[in-house]
């Protein structure tokens, strides 16, 4: 067997695999002998079928199968040994008048090669890394929310401006059908509030979403829509009232502190506010980091330039999908996926060049940290290590979970690397101003 490569240019090559009869004949002969031992052909005893008849009936199929197996094994081995970084898969070239009755065969494959490039981490401008801080107003509002959450509810016949009104928001066109509780102190404007005040169970209110809540995020939560869909949403909804309550705030005492944060962890209102601020800003940090990773990704894509084997990739898309595509369809698909492919190549190079690969021990430790965080939400703050190991083992036995957690860990590793190697400028900002700036 002989395998050779013709380099057409930096991004395209053709590999030729020459297979001689001596490469496959022994294997084919052995399989046909096994067929002969087990063949059930009328007129012949088992194991006594003439070899000529076996070859006539099965020889071509066995030959084709074994040559194709040998071809794939040899090609894959060659690509690995030669360290050829290919995009997609090798595409067999069409060969006119190919003859399976010949004894020696030659096959050609087109290759699309990954480009060589350097990752450009920094552009002309530094990337903004937002440090989102919790304002005093936000902290005070959260204190009130906690008091409401642990306070007492009293049923009422008629709503007033301090009521909690439970009901269902509906808009069939937008596929909104969400049961929720609305605190009327979060309703924006006298006109909207007047629709609720004086209402009773069973009433159906017609409302406009624009300007309905003081905080647009309350609208997103109440309607059960996505973050992007909720911002700036202008439509009409109905709200059918099922329950009206008045809430008596819980006292800010040790009993409340223990219920919220566990016994003895918070002892004063000042410590409560400090804890709320710490928890809020930890969540804000996750949100800010997610935004930073997106911004860095866009910047790196914009600044790292390289060519791709476009013609090869469009052909590969056209012929290897579930159904064949036309050239125009393949071109459209390529254009949709090109940006993702470019970043996949960039990310792979960053990972390989900087040894950011995820090890199993790292994955296990990361999974245990996630489990501990989830358990803490339910008051289990000191789980035993064996319990964590057992839960992690169950989770990591599921390949889908392994991929999900691996992707999370890799994103964390990349973010840490980027923070150390990308030119950043830190901007301290309140959450409300962050939303206005980022989602303007």
Please state the three-class secondary structure of the chain as a single string.
Answer: CEEEEEEEECCEEEEEEEECHHHHHHHHHHHHHHHHHHCCCCCCCCCCCCHHHHHHHHHHHHHHHHHHHHHHHHHHHHHHHCCCCEEEEEEECCCCCCCCCCCCEEEEEEEEECCCCCCCCCCCCCEEEEEEECCHHHHHHHHHHHHHHCCEEEECCCCCCCEEEEEEEEECCCCEEEEEEEEHHHECCHHHHHHHCCCCCCCEEEEECCCCECCHHHHHHHHCCCHHHHCCCCCEEEEEEEEEEEEECCCCCHHHHHHHHCCCCCCCHHHHHHHHHHHHHHHHHHHHHHHHHHHHHHHHHHHCCCCCCHHHHHHHHHHHCCCCCCHHHHHHHHHHHHHHHHHHHHHHHHHHHCCCCCCHHHHHHHHHHHHHHHHHHCCCCCCCHHHHHHHHHHHHCCHHHHHHHHHHHHHHHHHHHHHHHCCEEEEEEEHHHHHHHHCC
Q: Which of 182, 247, 168 is nearest to 212 (CA)?
A: 182
Helices 399-421 + 385-396 axis angle, to 10 = 110
Express each pLDDT in 48-76 by its tens digit. Answer: 778 888 788 888 899 999 999 999 999 99
Measure the CA–CA gap between 144 and 138, rounded to whole angstroms. 10
| Average pLDDT of span 66-89 | 93
Read off the pLDDT band of 78 (50, 70, 90).
Answer: very high
Residue 261 is predicted with a pLDDT of 86
Q: Which tens digit of pLDDT belongs to each residue from 328-364? A: 999 999 999 999 999 999 999 999 999 999 999 999 9
User: Would the pTM count as exceeding 0.85?
Assistant: no
Per-residue confidence (pLDDT) for residue 176, from 0 to 100: 93
| pLDDT band at 149; cut points 50, 70, 90 | confident
Q: What superfamily does domain 2-113 belong to in CATH?
A: Trigger factor ribosome-binding domain (3.30.70.1050)
Q: Residue 143 — φ and ψ, nearest 5°?
A: -60, -45
Q: What local confidence, expressed as pLDDT, does residue 36 receive?
A: 81
Asked if residue 287 lies in contact with residue 431, where contact means CB atoms within 8 angstroms, the answer is no
- Compute the mean pLDDT over every residue in the chain, rounded to the nearest whole number: 91
Could you give the CA distance from residue 323 to residue 94 in angstroms, rounded to a whole number? Answer: 19
- CATH 3.10.50.30 intervals, the chain: 152-248
Report CA dihedral (180, 211, 246, 244) to the nearest 10 degrees. Answer: -50
**pLDDT for residue 95:** 82
Q: How far apart are CA 211 and CA 190, in angstroms?
A: 11
* Fold of the domain built from segment(s) 267-438: Trigger factor, domain 2 (1.10.3120)
Q: Where in the chain is the domain with CATH 3.30.70.1050?
A: 2-113
Residue whose tokens read 């030959």 = 63
- Residue 12: count of CB within 10 angstroms of its CB: 15
What average pLDDT does the segment 191-216 reach? 93
As annotated, the residues of the chain forming the CATH 1.10.3120 domain(s) are: 267-438
pLDDT band at 33 (very low <50, low <70, confident <90, very high): confident
pLDDT band at 379 (very low <50, low <70, confident <90, very high): low
Q: Write down the CATH number for the domain with range 152-248.
A: 3.10.50.30
**pLDDT at residue 174 tops 80:** yes
Pairwise CA distance, residues 209 & 179, whole Å = 16
CA distance 146 to 162: 16
Q: How far apart are the first and last CA of the chain?
A: 63
Beta bridge mates, 248: 152
């Amino acid at each position: 067997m002989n395998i050779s490569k013709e380099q057409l240019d930096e991004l395209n090559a053709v590999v030729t695999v020459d297979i001689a009869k001596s490469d496959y004949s022994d294997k084919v002969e052995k399989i046909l002998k096994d067929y002969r031992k087990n063949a059930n052909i009328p007129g012949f005893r088992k194991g006594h079928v003439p070899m000529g008849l076996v070859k006539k009936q099965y020889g071509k199929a066995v030959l084709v199968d074994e040559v194709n197996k040998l071809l794939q094994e040899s090609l894959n081995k060659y690509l690995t040994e030669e360290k050829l970084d290919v995009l997609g898969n090798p595409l067999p070239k069409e060969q006119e008048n190919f003859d399976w009755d010949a004894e020696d065969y030659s096959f050609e494959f087109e290759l699309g090669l990954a480009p060589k490039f350097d990752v450009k981490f920094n552009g002309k401008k530094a990337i903004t890394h937002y440090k989102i801080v919790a304002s005093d107003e936000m902290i005070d509002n959260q204190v009130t929310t906690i008091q409401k959450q642990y306070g007492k509810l009293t049923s009422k016949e008629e709503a007033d401006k301090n009521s909690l009104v439970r009901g269902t928001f509906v808009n069939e066109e937008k596929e909104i059908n969400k049961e929720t509780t609305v605190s009327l102190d979060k309703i924006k404007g006298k006109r909207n509030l007047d629709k609720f005040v004086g209402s009773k169970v069973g009433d159906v209110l017609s409302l406009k979403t624009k300007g309905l809540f003081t905080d647009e995020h309350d609208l997103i939560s109440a309607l059960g829509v996505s973050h992007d869909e909720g911002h700036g949403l202008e439509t009409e909804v109905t709200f059918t009232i099922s329950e009206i309550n008045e809430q008596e705030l819980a006292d800010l005492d040790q009993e409340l502190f223990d219920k919220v944060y566990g016994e003895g962890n918070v002892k004063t209102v000042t410590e409560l506010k400090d804890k709320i601020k710490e928890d809020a800003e930890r969540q804000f940090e996750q949100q800010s980091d997610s935004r930073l990773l997106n911004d860095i990704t866009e910047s790196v894509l914009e600044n790292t330039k390289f060519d791709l084997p476009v013609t090869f990739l469009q052909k590969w898309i056209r012929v290897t999908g579930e159904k064949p595509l036309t050239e125009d369809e393949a071109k459209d698909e390529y254009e949709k996926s090109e940006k993702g492919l470019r970043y996949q190549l960039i990310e792979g190079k960053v990972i390989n060049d900087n040894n950011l690969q995820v090890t199993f021990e790292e994955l296990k430790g990361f999974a245990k940290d996630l489990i501990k965080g989830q358990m803490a939400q339910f008051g289990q703050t000191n789980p035993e290590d064996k319990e964590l190991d057992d839960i992690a083992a169950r989770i990591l036995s599921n390949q889908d979970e392994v991929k999900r957690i691996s992707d999370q860990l890799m994103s964390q590793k990349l973010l840490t690397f980027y923070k150390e190697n990308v030119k950043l400028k830190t901007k301290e900002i309140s959450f409300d101003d962050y939303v206005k700036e980022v989602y303007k």
